[in-house]
């Protein structure tokens, strides 16, 4: 098993199953002791804002706020710099613990030794 997992989620409410899968895999990996870095891009960018995850609904899926909290508690969550800028989201707007970083940091994390990267 990879010691580190980088997950990029590009979907939000526009593709709820894909979005939920990404958050579920991230939360399960964290619970399994894997070092997880979850990247919010595209429509998932909105989940970096307080209260937005609570608006997400998908039948038979774990609540997105719970999954988000699990990842924040033991992993890292990053909001894409360009995605944030396109949505006028700044550092002061995001949930505590969410950082904003760009492609250079994503590539560095994804190519690190012992890392598996997944994109949803």
**Does residue 113 carry a pLDDT above 90?**
yes
pLDDT for the residue numbered 39? 98
pTM beyond 0.75: the answer is yes
Order the strands of the 76-80 sheet from edge to edge: 98-101, 76-80, 35-40, 4-9, 115-119
Please state, in angstroms and rounded to a whole number, the distance separating the CA atoms of residues 81 and 84. Answer: 5
What would the pLDDT profile of 28-54 be if each residue is shown by its tens digit? 999 999 999 999 999 999 999 999 999
Domains and CATH numbers, the chain: 4-119 (3.40.1260.10)
């Amino acid at each position: 098993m990879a010691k580190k997992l980088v997950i990029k989620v590009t979907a939000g409410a526009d593709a709820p199953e894909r979005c939920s899968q990404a958050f579920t895999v991230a939360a399960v990996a964290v619970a399994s002791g894997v070092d997880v870095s979850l990247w919010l891009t595209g429509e998932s960018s909105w989940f970096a804002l307080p209260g937005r995850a609570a608006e997400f609904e998908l039948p038979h899926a774990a609540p997105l706020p719970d999954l988000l909290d699990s990842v924040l508690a033991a992993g890292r969550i990053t909001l894409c710099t360009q995605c944030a800028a396109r949505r006028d989201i700044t550092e002061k707007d995001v949930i505590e613990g969410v950082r904003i970083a760009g492609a250079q940091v994503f590539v560095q994390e994804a190519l690190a030794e012992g890392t598996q990267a997944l994109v949803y």
